[in-house]
Copies of this chain bind each other. A is one copy, B any other.
Amino acid sequence: MTSLTQPARGQHTKERLLDAAETLFAERGIKATSLRQITARASANLAAVNYHFNSKEALTQAVFTRRLDPLNGERLRLLGAAEKASGDSPVTLETTLHAFLDPTVKLWTEAPAFMLLLGRLEFEADEKLHGFYLTQFEEVLIRFKAAVTRALPDVPMKDLFWRIHFLLGAMVHAVTCHADLEWISGGLCQTQPFQEMVDRLVAFGVTGLRATPLYPEGNR
């Protein structure tokens, strides 16, 4: 098994370019990374990017699909399995959150640079890339939306969306800003190993999602 974040000698140039681009995009941003930096890190020639991908934009999209396809596939597979196992009764909120988070943690362990890049994407992406990114999550959104709604039938949809939005923010922030946590806590909290963070995230999310609605009508 070769490393997923650092270029290795044996890999094909195309793979090495993807690895190098992923790492550099995560470290310094997409626009701020030049093709020269990418090809240098991949031990490839400057012209290789345009030979293998035609453009920097196409390389960027390839960096994302390579990881997002398996990630979202696994999320849907886990949720589907849980739904099958629970029969007519709804899947619990904890199981649903884990179906979403566990594949994330797996990817996080295997390719930490990519998770960082995902966190950055909201700001890095131009209109085109952002649209492409949203379509990658379309099915996941529909399926998990339905599952959470079924797990929490008494919480109005509007409250749920707000809370899910906050929870996603907590997740993204946790992934991208470990350094800040360590700074804030004066070193007391560590983000390695990941499992503790995930446990805490799930607990935080379950508590937040389960709270009684803020406005009685639920649709202020």
Measured CB to CB, the residues of A under 8 A from B are 29, 31-32, 119-120, 122-124, 134, 141, 145, 157-159, 161-174, 176-177, 180-181, 183-185, 188-189, 196-197, 199-201, 203-204, 207-208, 211, 214, 220
Contacts and interface: CB of A to CB of B under 8 A. Distances in A.
Interface of chain A: mostly helix, strand, loop or mixed: helix
Contacts of A120: 123
Given A124-B123, A171-B169, A173-B172, A203 B207 contact: no
A208 B201 CA distance: 10
Report copies per complex: 2
A132 to B, nearest CB: 14
A181 B134 CA distance: 12
Contacts of A189: 158, 161-162, 165
B185 A158 contact: yes
B214 A199 contact: yes
A165 B181 contact: yes
B177 A173 contact: no
Nearest to A123: B120
A214 B203 contact: yes
Nearest to A165: B181
A16 B127 CA distance: 27
A29 B124 contact: yes
A159 B181 CA distance: 12
A220 B196 contact: yes
